[in-house]
Structure 1
Amino acid sequence: MESRTKKQQAKRRQNQRRMMAGTVILFFVLIASIVGIYIGVEKPELRPGWAGPSATPASANAARPTPTPPASLAPTPALAEEPKTTPPAVSTEPTAPTPTPPASPPAAGAGGAPATGTEAGRVKLAFVGDVLLGSTVENVLKEKGYDYPYSDVKTLLQGADLTIANLETPVTERGTPQQKDYVYRSSPKALPAFKEAGFDLVNLANNHSMDQGEQGLLDTMDHLDVLGIKRVGAGRTSAEAFRPVILESKGIRIAFVGFTRNVPDNSWKAGTSRPGLADTYDSKAPVDAIRKAREQADLVVVIAHWGVERSDTPDEHQKKLARAYIDAGADLIIGGHPHVLQGFERYQGKWIAYSLGNFIFTTNNYPKTLDSMILEASCSKERSCELKMVPIFTKWAHPVVMGEADSLQLFQRLTAVSTQAAIGRDGRIRSTVSSTSP
């Protein structure tokens, strides 16, 4: 009995040892399996682009650059031009290239910084078209600064001995708005920047100078006088309105006169004792003024406000008046009012520029109103003038110099509507009639 018990105990111990050995083997097998799995798995850091399980991809935390909004030609206010249209809030037209004009070396002259490349014994005059500083243009000036319009063309404006514009805005804070379409007014705050840009003289004989009545015209003349900007074409009396302004530069005396053939109401015409404009519906008074100017000066320049808006060519009134002015003694005729560029004509050896278009004005969707120019005239004491145009693209009250391709297209277009004149690739206007022709 005791022997059987011992055998059973020995067998149980043997079974326990077997179970323990199996458990140990199973444990090692399990450990080996785990190690095998660990070794067989690809290490995370070896994966391309992997930053670890707890890492955030770099692009998620990197600061995103603030996108620059696409450039727009349109300022906040929607601008309109005569005749009024409603342009889109944002312009879809491509931005014109803005080449920097060549810098001019200093020289003495009445027009701010002096003229460049003016030959000895010649005076350099620069003319621009219609300048409007009121309406939605004034909103742009208040937002961007009163010197904003001139930033890309100031060198050209200041590079002449005298710089002249047609000012189509009453400069006043009072007056009575007239019963007409397109009534404008500009703050006097706009004038100092206009003066500093290089302007020496303005023509007031136009269809907007009395938009605020007689008081507006009187205020305009006073503000111009205070800043030393000369004026023609308007006055407190007809005698003052038709009187020439004579300026001297480079030893040459230049007489300027201004006339308009676009007067909204007869009451705008200057009278013996009534403020107003120098009109040219009848050519007698302008012709008399030119003859008087001829007696006092070496050169006589006429600034004429005339023609049909948006017409590419001068009408018969323009042609007839221009020739009458030259026959009376004018040496150079500079026209405006159509809001587009018109061609040139050579008559009796004298130049006529029928319209310089808009320089600073409200804007619409009529493309030709965006084409403009700075017309440079190099004139001698012997009454001879040579012309060169600098082609300008003007949009949202900001004139810039055109690129070469656009310039050449404009030269070709204006040559096609000019009389006895052509424009070269360099912008110089030349006569197409031989000097030996009868």
Structure 2
Amino acid sequence: MDTYIPRRLVVAAAVAASALFGTACSAAESATPTATSDVVEKPTTPTSAEPTPERERLPYTISFGGDVHFEGVLRNRLNADPKTALGPIAKVLGASDLAMVNLETAITTGGTPAPGKQFTFRAPATALTALKAAGVDVASMANNHGMDYMQGGLADSLAAIKRSKFPVVGIGGNEDEAYKPWRTTVNGNRVAIIGATQVLDAEFIQAWTATDRQGGLASAKNEARLLQEVRKARKNSDTVIVHLHWGTELQKCPNEAQRALAPKLIAAGADVVVGGHAHILLGSGYLRNGYVNYGMGNFAFYNWGPDTGRTGVLTLTINGRKVLKDRWTPATIQGGVPVPVAAAGRQQAVANWKALRGCAGLAATPS
């Protein structure tokens, strides 16, 4: 099994490789170290690259958090200081080469609330500032709250994304834009990340789904379109990641729709499938030659309880198509934000997380 090499050493190796093979090395910036991670440097901007020889590619890390919005107490934190809005978990996210969350809100201060919808979430554009400051590199807005303020809110969201230059997947001005992967290159690995939602309220499916004639969300209900995008990304990527909004609220095991879609995505060429929606943690592990997470739970959320307040960061070490290692950094939601579990309770929290794969049909090691 390959060994993860800290990003600071990778940069030196990449410079040497550039001289030999004429490839370009992207600029990097330092991230804050944590007790559980090596000091790493994050790539600053996405880069494209021609296919690279195997010997040039080195392992990288990507961390995932769950559902994020900025309602209630979180709005107060955002208004006070966007750069510290996500609290201490930023050190965990920032220590990885890449980090991703599900942004479960419209980015607007206007728009019209979805008619008849019980819960509608929105946040100002500083929400994107908060994510970036917390070490998040890309977010998905393909979820059942991404268009809570309908087409007016969508227009505001897309404009805010464009102004901020913060990468967001799963949403767009048309179908192609919504399904389009975000691409970056890390340690010689060409990474493609696609976002889509399997959860949409029945009355909003037509109005919220992106088509060639209207903006909206990338829908996983259109399996053929999603699988087509995965196959397309497979052709010119070393790692293909699909981020999904899926599952049944408060159901501890994956539902039939999740179990049916996951193997199809792996067969189409996805190496990692990660998602959430259930408000609680679900199992993670290996499925065939890929890695699947069925539920990341809440992450930065305005309410929480004994189960819905359990959260954490999933960090994968990857080289090309191989997920070499998974690591769980457990946390609990306190004051709306995830706070890493103290050392005394960490071992039990990790054991509890590993036990979740029991009903998920996933393995602790690749098959």
Sort the TM-score into its range (normalised by shorter chain). 0.7 to 0.9
Task: Give, in angstroms, the shift of residue 212 of structure 1.
Answer: 0.9
Residue 41 of structure 2 is aligned to residue 107 of structure 1: yes
Q: How does 1:140-219 map to 2 (within 5 A)?
A: 140-142=77-79, 144-179=80-115, 180-219=117-156
Q: 1:382 to 1:271 in 2, by over 3 A?
A: closer
Q: 1:124 to 1:422 in 2, by over 3 A?
A: farther
Residue 213 of structure 2 is aligned to residue 277 of structure 1: no
CA distance in 1, matches of 2:44, 2:320: 17
Flag the structure with higher strand content: 2
CA distance in 1, matches of 2:296, 2:286: 16
Residue 271 of structure 2 is aligned to residue 334 of structure 1: no
Q: How does 1:326-365 map to 2 (within 5 A)?
A: 326-364=266-304
CA distance in 2, matches of 1:261, 1:103: 33
Secondary structure (helix, strand or coil) at the match of 1:273 reads: coil
Q: Contact 2:40–2:96 at 8 Å: present in 1 too?
A: no
Secondary structure (helix, strand or coil) at the match of 1:379 reads: strand
2:189 is aligned to: 252
Count of residue correspondences: 321
Alignment gaps of 5+ in structure 1: 1-99, 113-119, 424-428
Q: 1:346 to 1:104 in 2, by over 3 A?
A: closer
Residue 178 of structure 2 is aligned to residue 241 of structure 1: yes
Secondary structure (helix, strand or coil) at the match of 1:153 reads: helix
Task: Give, in angstroms, the shift of residue 134 of structure 1.
Answer: 3.0
Q: Contact 1:123–1:161 at 8 Å: present in 2 too?
A: yes
Q: Give CA deviations for 1:44-90 in whole Å, capped at 9, x if unaligned.
A: xxxxxxxxxxxxxxxxxxxxxxxxxxxxxxxxxxxxxxxxxxxxxxx
CA distance in 2, matches of 1:422, 1:210: 33
Larger Rg: 1
Q: Give CA deviations for 1:260-316 in whole Å, capped at 9, x if unaligned.
A: 111121211111110111111242111111001101211100101011111111111
Q: Contact 1:149–1:360 at 8 Å: present in 2 too?
A: no
Residue 258 of structure 2 is aligned to residue 318 of structure 1: yes
CA distance in 1, matches of 2:282, 2:72: 25
Amino acid at match of 1:170: A
Secondary structure (helix, strand or coil) at the match of 1:392 reads: strand
Task: Give, in angstroms, the shift of residue 405 of structure 1.
Answer: 4.3
Task: Give, in angstroms, the shift of residue 140 of structure 1.
Answer: 3.9
Task: Give, in angstroms, the shift of residue 109 of structure 1.
Answer: 2.3
Task: Give, in angstroms, the shift of residue 227 of structure 1.
Answer: 2.1
Q: Contact 1:257–1:303 at 8 Å: present in 2 too?
A: yes
Q: Contact 1:346–1:419 at 8 Å: present in 2 too?
A: no
Q: How does 1:6-405 map to 2 (within 5 A)?
A: 101=35, 105=39, 107-110=41-44, 121-142=58-79, 144-179=80-115, 180-264=117-201, 265-266=204-205, 267-364=207-304, 366-405=305-344
Q: Contact 2:231–2:268 at 8 Å: present in 1 too?
A: yes
1:46 is aligned to: none
CA distance in 2, matches of 1:341, 1:190: 24
Q: Contact 1:298–1:383 at 8 Å: present in 2 too?
A: no
Secondary structure (helix, strand or coil) at the match of 2:234 reads: helix
Q: Contact 1:149–1:397 at 8 Å: present in 2 too?
A: no
CA distance in 2, matches of 1:421, 1:183: 30
Q: Contact 2:105–2:146 at 8 Å: present in 1 too?
A: yes
RMSD: 2.5
> In percent, how many aligned pairs have the same letter?
30
Secondary structure (helix, strand or coil) at the match of 1:130 reads: strand
Q: Contact 2:285–2:292 at 8 Å: present in 1 too?
A: yes
Q: 1:325 to 1:103 in 2, by over 3 A?
A: closer
Secondary structure (helix, strand or coil) at the match of 1:430 reads: coil
Task: Give, in angstroms, the shift of residue 408 of structure 1.
Answer: 3.0
Q: Contact 1:126–1:375 at 8 Å: present in 2 too?
A: yes
For normalisation by structure 1, the TM-score amounts to 0.68
Of 423, 430, 435, which aligns to 2:364? 430
Q: Give CA deviations for 1:353-406 in whole Å, capped at 9, x if unaligned.
A: 111111101114x31111111111111024334211111111222211102343
Q: 1:401 to 1:239 in 2, by over 3 A?
A: same
Alignment gaps of 5+ in structure 2: 1-33, 47-56
Amino acid at match of 2:339: V
Residue 346 of structure 2 is aligned to residue 410 of structure 1: no
For normalisation by structure 2, the TM-score amounts to 0.81
